[in-house]
Amino acid sequence: MQYTKKIETRHKVDVFVAGAGPAGIAAAITAARHGKTVFLAENNGCFGGLGTAGLVPAFCQFTDGERFLVGGVGREIRDLTLGPAVDYTARFEAVNPERLKLVYDKLVTDEPNITFSFFTRLIDVAVSDGNVTAAILAAKSGIFAVEADIFIDCTGDGDLCDFAGADSEFGDEEGNAMPVTLCSIWADIDSSKRSSVNFSQALEQAFADGVFSKEDRHISGFFNPAPGHSVRNANIGHCYEVDGRDERSLTRAMMEGRAYMAEFKRFYSEYIGGQYENMHLCWTADMLGVRESRRIITDYMLCGADFKARASFDDEIGRYAYPVDIHAMKPTKEAFEEFRKEYEREMRYGVGESYGIPYRSLLPKKLENVLVAGRCIGTDRQMQASIRPMPGCYITGTAAGIAASMTSKKRSVRSIDIDRLKEAIRADFGKDTI
């Protein structure tokens, strides 16, 4: 069918940011602090994306073991949430999602240049000659437009770029993406009781007994956001063959993930026991932990070879060090062992090692006034599996926000001076990280 409706332009700003996850937060705040007016659109009822609405229980590493790689807004968020960093070797740091929500709320509302709304979904864009002219948004009050000079896609799934006609890649050679996880919160886990049960042996026995509907051996486990209390945040369970671009696939996975929790309760309480003996489920996340969807085709596609080479680039806007973390595509023992080989032994760094992120990986081909930041920047599957955690999103979001602030009206995001961009990033990060 064809449907036509005249809609109002509700806002005219310098920079429009789609999605208020870690990349979008960093981009919006950074652009605002550099003097630009910003509209930030978020579909959920809070800032933070997977770290809040998605209940992802921990920050991944911010450092290379020797120095902080994530400065600016990212470092500010981490320190306000957890306290000033003291352990540079931590690969994971447990996060209280409610604390993180409040940090985001304050940082955004402290910026007078940012206008935002929750429950506001990007549904389309208007494009003319390779330039996006307006974002089309749907909210409770109706459909409206936001006009801007620069648009930053921080949706995680590359929705804005896709609406604008940019090309993208998805999944592996067969079009299969990594499984998703429905994160959860559990109570009455008594840390004073320790189980002596061998976890792997117990899991295999549970498989043999038919406790689980699938033999998923990759169980990340529980994180304690409030020491001394019995509540734990959990990243457990996978839903397979899910397309993060398709609401029908996401709907099926959401319901499957909720049903899966009963299997985990039985396993932990009956087969592991100890601290888990009386555990019960309090909450499941309002959004799925999608690890992989679109990868936008950009001027440079960061790749696994760059990870192995500890690559540096002339247009480097940051460095990162998280391992290549491609979760097993199938719930089989063979697939899990292949994951462990890659993740635990081959595609990870020693202390002080990192790879560079080029500005070109933030520049979608075919588009002149659009930047992409976060999980969906231009990478191959291996590199996407490294850069996707929250700290990596802070890095690219910050760079996108600074780049947007340096792009003159009606000029391409490719027109900025790279040396000036790098100088501004160094100043924003507070130290020479690139």
Residue 405 near residue 30, CB atoms below 8 Å: yes
CA pair distance 153, 67, nearest whole angstrom: 29
Given this model, what pLDDT does residue 433 score? 67
- Decide if pLDDT at 432 tops 60: no
Residue 14 near residue 36, CB atoms below 8 Å: yes
Mean pLDDT of 144-160: 98
Residue range(s) of every CATH 3.50.50.60 domain in the chain: 8-172+293-326+349-429
Instruction: For residue 23, count other CB atoms closer than 10 A to its CB.
Output: 34
The candidate with the shortest Cα–Cα distance to 323, out of 344, 292, 351, 301, is 344
The candidate with the shortest Cα–Cα distance to 304, out of 384, 375, 358, is 384
Pick the CATH number of 8-172+293-326+349-429 from 1.10.150.120, 3.30.1280.10, 3.50.50.60, 3.90.950.20: 3.50.50.60
Given this model, what pLDDT does residue 46 score? 98
pLDDT tens by residue, 215-270: 999 888 899 988 878 999 999 999 999 999 999 999 999 999 999 999 999 999 99
Joined tokens for residue 305: 């070879």
Residue 102 main-chain phi, psi, to 5 deg: -65, -40
Given this model, what pLDDT does residue 187 score? 96
What single-letter amino acid sits at 24? G
Given this model, what pLDDT does residue 409 score? 81
Q: What percent of the chain stands above pLDDT 90? A: 86
Q: With residue 3 as reference, give the H or E element that holds it.
A: none
- Decide if pLDDT at 305 tops 90: yes
DSSP string computed for 98-135: HHHHHHHHHHHHT-TTEEEESS-EEEEEEEETTEEEEE
Given this model, what pLDDT does residue 227 score? 80
Given this model, what pLDDT does residue 408 score? 81
